[in-house]
Amino acid sequence: MALEWVILAYAVITLLIVLFCFTKVANPDEMVWGRVRIAAITLGLWVVYRFMPCKATELLRILIEMLLLAWWYQDTANINVLFPNLDPIVAHWDQMIFGFQPALVFAEKFTQPVLSEFLEISYAMYYPIILVVCVYYFWYRYKEFEKCCFIVTASFFTYYLIFDFIPVAGPMYYYPAIGMENVVKGIFPAISDKISHTALMKAPGWADGIGYQLITDIHGDERPTGAFPSSHVGITIVSLLLAIRSRSKKLILFVLPFCIGICFATVYIRAHYAIDAMTGLVSGIVLYVFWAWVANKQKIQTS
């Protein structure tokens, strides 16, 4: 399927980077074998489908690839350490545009439990939103199911390729690394060392809330990578546009509130700078239009 070719192409591109910089990346053997295993899984799923071509094996084939997206995201942290950290530049853009750091001020000004819970639950709904949209297409617009999954997957790997070469960890890692006194003064020094994934700011909001606990758990598993542009915002916009394309009012009404919430939540929980969210919104629209055009050009359709 087209989405599998996208995954394999990304695997090959990043494998060449790893082999070229073999002595400079951490755990290069693990990175190489990780790609070999995913290629083997992709081939194995294709073989299963060839022997049992049906909707169930097709769905399994796609869902497993999409479940591996989180692994690919974490993997970008192993590659982008090869390049200078760009958090000082992005933080300066926020300071220049707004006159302060929205990622710092937003959560301090709005402490209402209902608002914080809505924003944090919205952020935690990121992957479930994508899953719901894809499953909807599988059940109700089956002929466009593969096209839908291709657009989503191709958009993901476009962001991952950007993250490989543009290392921005985000405020929750960068602020503690430079000291809050510098952040308050609008001073954003460069950092030469790799940002530690353990030294991160606590999530804001209502500490007893479900959303707060979800965000705390999510942050515990994440690594400092891929903040610019915000793929959370971008992929959510892609999902919303796919929901609009489906013309299902129920699906649109399900996705839209969480989409709005995620756009603000990424800054509220300090995962992203405001400029990350803004570029995520714009890039999400651009990626949807581009990959939908590619899908139409290649006549991608579930048989």
Mean pLDDT in residue range 161-178:
92
Q: Give Cα 60 distance to the centre of its chain.
A: 22
pLDDT confidence band for 168 (50 / 70 / 90): very high
* Angstrom distance (rounded) from CA 91 to CA 274: 9
Mean pLDDT in residue range 282-290:
97
Amino acid 124 reads A
Percent of the chain past pLDDT 70, that is, above it, reads: 96
pLDDT score recorded for residue 204? 83
167, 85 in Cβ contact below 8 A?
yes
Residue with tokens 């950007």: 162
User: Does the pLDDT value for residue 198 go beyond 60?
Assistant: no
Query: For the whole model, what pTM was predicted?
Result: 0.93
Mean pLDDT in residue range 118-122:
92
Q: Which of the two residues, 149 and 108, has the higher pLDDT score?
A: 149
Q: What phi-psi label fits residue 301: left (phi over 0), alpha (psi between -120 and 50 degrees) or beta?
A: beta
User: Does the pLDDT value for residue 205 go beyond 90?
Assistant: no
240, 256 in Cβ contact below 8 A?
yes
In tens, the pLDDT along 64-109 reads: 998 999 899 989 988 988 888 899 999 999 999 999 999 999 988 8
Distances (CA, A) of 80 to 21, 112, 172, 225, 283: 11, 37, 18, 8, 20
* Angstrom distance (rounded) from CA 281 to CA 13: 26
pLDDT score recorded for residue 284? 97
Average pLDDT, the chain: 90
188, 92 in Cβ contact below 8 A?
yes
pLDDT confidence band for 177 (50 / 70 / 90): confident
pLDDT score recorded for residue 213? 87
In tens, the pLDDT along 240-273 reads: 999 999 999 999 999 999 999 999 999 999 999 9
283, 234 in Cβ contact below 8 A?
yes
